[in-house]
Chain A
């Protein structure tokens, strides 16, 4: 094991990005992710990288497009309102089949909302902006996982030529934990498609999302969705916690999964058989394991910091085979272990008929 250092979540993401070979960062200040931008401002110029504070999130994501189109690893980060502005660019990245790594350290919304943690951009992250496309969405629950998923995010983006988004929240961004920065080997990908100048040696490359011929545009979408299918088959990540004998299954990601673990331990002490499936990839969503769990447990609880967003995917994945309860707070409020416990007790009442 390598030595551990104490790091703030936002800074750990930045350091992991550098270790993944990212030398281009474009951002715009917004709480609660600003430490990430500041970290890059300090580090990148000293390593011949490019740090640029853009005039807006729209500009930042389009600068990301420029670097990615030119074949280099690149990232941007923001928090909820800023991600809304980046949405146009996310759609273009998808339409152009460009890799990019984007971080959303969520805060409460809608509108300007607040600056306290939230998970209410779940729909936005997993559904996205205009057009048929997908984003790989990675949901860490610790500073250590912010490091590993950042490295993974860059890799997946290059591997599948798509955006991967790290979906964190204000708590994870601000919290300090000891982390190992041993990130292992970094794979380098050839990018023969990139706009690097023809050098008068090859036909020109065009990075483009426009087609005025419907059949052609359809075929581009179909090809892209074939790639997405491979992602769904190979890249699903989740953690199972005390699921072996569980009768109640909590589904939760990020910081609320940690809160849920506390509640699960407490409930287990009371003899209630509860476990958790924690999606680490929100897209691709761990549908299969949830569907299988639905044959074993009597109820699910979606624990989330939003008004019932994750729960829709749980219901879809489990095909409504079992009731799914919602345990949630929003607007910047984190559910307490007691909130989760109350839901566990309620779920425990279900099931005489099962």
Chain B
């Protein structure tokens, strides 16, 4: 019998702890498929961050390092510089990457660090139970913005791809979503490109993936997908924000 669908080798055969309907799992699968297809699992070093995805070190089949909250790009810098033939990627949430780890993110990009960053933007702090994230939308109700995010007092969401597009050192920045089949396929293409860039020595690549948190958004999985589409996608438009080599080729 022909196997038409299987677990990627780079994804461990374990039960993921994510909530039902959480799209972290889809993103894991996409990353693992890319590691398989590019044949880089044996060279890969994944950096797990602090957030719901902290346990990714149990999920990817490659060597893994668990970093402190926000520090994954700095740890990745060390792991990459220790041996540039390593394929080093981080997997970070929005609190991790765009709040506590903003400096590490911006400067890894500014240095053109040859790493791949998978940035999961779910507009909330999932792991700690649904507090306001740097990417929470204006008006969004969270545990620490119970009356809705008031831009007058706490300011506006950080748009990571837009911000990093101003950083000369960044190579490739794309925002994708995993809310439907078409977008999932597109996300896979972007993630694969972000790894291919590293293999080709092209420098800092970041893929921002709009993701759901049905649990802390207080929505069913299907309504969460709809919320992402109706609320996040207009505020965080999908697309390529920077592609240095494509620009140079023009």
The chain A residues found within 8 Å of chain B, CB to CB, are 24, 26, 50, 52, 54-56, 58-60, 62-72, 74, 88-89, 92, 96, 195-201, 204-210
B29: interface (CB < 8 Å): no
Query: Total A-B pairs in contact (CB under 8 Å)?
Result: 140
- Is the beta-carbon distance between A64 and B66 smaller than 8 angstroms? no
Residue of A nearest to B44 (CB): A197
- CB contacts (< 8 Å) of A74 on chain B: these are 78, 82
Report how far A155 CA is from B85 CA in the complex, Å.
Answer: 26
Do A205 and B77 form a contact, CB below 8 Å, given A88-B68, A200-B41?
A: no
Q: Which residues of B contact A50 (CB under 8 A)?
A: 81-82
B65 touches A62 (CB 8 A): no
- Given A24-B81, A64-B78, A204-B64, list of 6 further CB < 8 A pairs? A54-B107, A59-B77, A62-B67, A63-B77, A70-B82, A197-B62
* Cβ distance A225 to chain B, nearest Cβ, rounded Å: 21
Across-interface contacts of B54 in A (CB, < 8 A): 210
- Inter-chain CA distance A50–B103, complex, in Å, is 21
The answer to whether B71 and A204 have CB atoms under 8 Å apart is no
A204 adjacent to B81 (CB under 8 Å) = no
Asked whether, in the complex, the Cβ of B57 is within 8 Å of the Cβ of A206, the reply is: yes
Are the CB atoms of A24 and B82 closer together than 8 Å? yes
Q: Is B104 an interface residue (CB 8 A)?
A: yes
Q: Beta-carbon contacts of B47-60 to A below 8 Å, as 1s and 0s?
A: 11000001001101
B45 partner residues in chain A, CB cutoff 8 A: 69-70, 195-197
Q: Which residues of B does A touch, CB under 8 Å?
A: 41-45, 47-48, 54, 57-58, 60-68, 71, 74-83, 85-87, 103-104, 106-107, 111
Instruction: Please give me the 3 A-B residue pairs with the lowest Cβ-Cβ distance, nearest first.
Output: A66-B78, A62-B74, A70-B82
Q: Separation in Å of the B54 CB from the closest CB of chain A?
A: 6
Of all chain A residues, the one with the shortest Cβ separation from B66 is A208
**Quick one: given A58-B74, A65-B75, A206-B57, are A196 and B104 in contact (CB under 8 Å)?**
no
- Decide yes or no: A65 and B83 within 8 Å by CB, A52-B77, A54-B74, A55-B103 being known contacts: no
Chain B residues with CB under 8 Å of A54's CB are: 74, 107
Name the distance in Å between B80's Cβ and chain A's nearest Cβ: 7
Indicate the member of B60, B67, B79, B107 with the most A CB atoms within 10 Å: B79
**Which chain B residue has the least Cβ–Cβ distance from A72?**
B82
Are B65 and A59 in contact, CB atoms less than 8 angstroms apart?
A: no
Given contact pairs A59-B107, A62-B71, A195 touches B42 in the complex (Cβ within 8 A): no
Set A65, A68, A206: member contacting B63, Cβ < 8 A: A206
Shortest A190–chain B CB gap in Å is 16
CA distance A201 to B41 in the complex (A): 11
Candidates B76, B82, B111; contact of A71 at CB < 8 Å:
B82
CA A54 – CA B73 in complex, angstroms?
Answer: 12
Which of A56, A59, A64, A67 has the largest number of chain B CB atoms within 10 A?
Answer: A59
Q: How many Å from the CB of A226 to the closest CB on chain B? A: 23
With A197-B43, A197-B44, A200-B42: A63-B65 Cβ-Cβ less than 8 Å: no
Cβ-closest chain A residue relative to B107: A55
Q: Which A residue's beta carbon lies closest to that of B57?
A: A206
Is the CB–CB distance between B86 and A197 below 8 Å? yes
Nearest B residue (CB) for A65: B75
Determine how close the nearest CB of chain A comes to the CB of B133; give it in whole angstroms.
21
Q: Which of B63, B74, B86, B111 contacts A205 (CB 8 A)?
A: B63
Contact partner of A195 (CB less than 8 A), chosen from B64, B85, B104, is B64
In-complex Cβ contact of A66 among B65, B87, B111 (8 A): B65
Query: With A and B bound together, what is the CA distance between A204 and B45 in angstroms?
Result: 10
Q: Using Cβ atoms and an 8 Å threshold, which residues of chain A touch B83?
A: 70, 72, 196
Closest to A91 in B: B68
C-alpha gap A206/B42 in the complex (Å): 14
Contact A62/B104 with A70-B79, A197-B63, A205-B63 known, Cβ cut-off 8 Å: yes
Q: With A66-B65, A195-B65, A208-B66 in contact, do A24 and B78 touch (Cβ < 8 Å)?
A: yes
B74 near A63 (CB under 8 angstroms)? yes
CB–CB B79/A67 < 8 A = yes
The 8 Å CB contact of A198, one of B62, B67, B103, is: B62
| Cβ contacts A to B, 23 pairs, < 8 Å | A50-B82, A52-B81, A54-B74, A55-B107, A56-B103, A58-B74, A58-B103, A59-B74, A63-B75, A63-B81, A66-B80, A67-B78, A74-B78, A96-B65, A195-B45, A196-B86, A197-B44, A197-B85, A206-B63, A207-B63, A207-B64, A208-B57, A210-B54
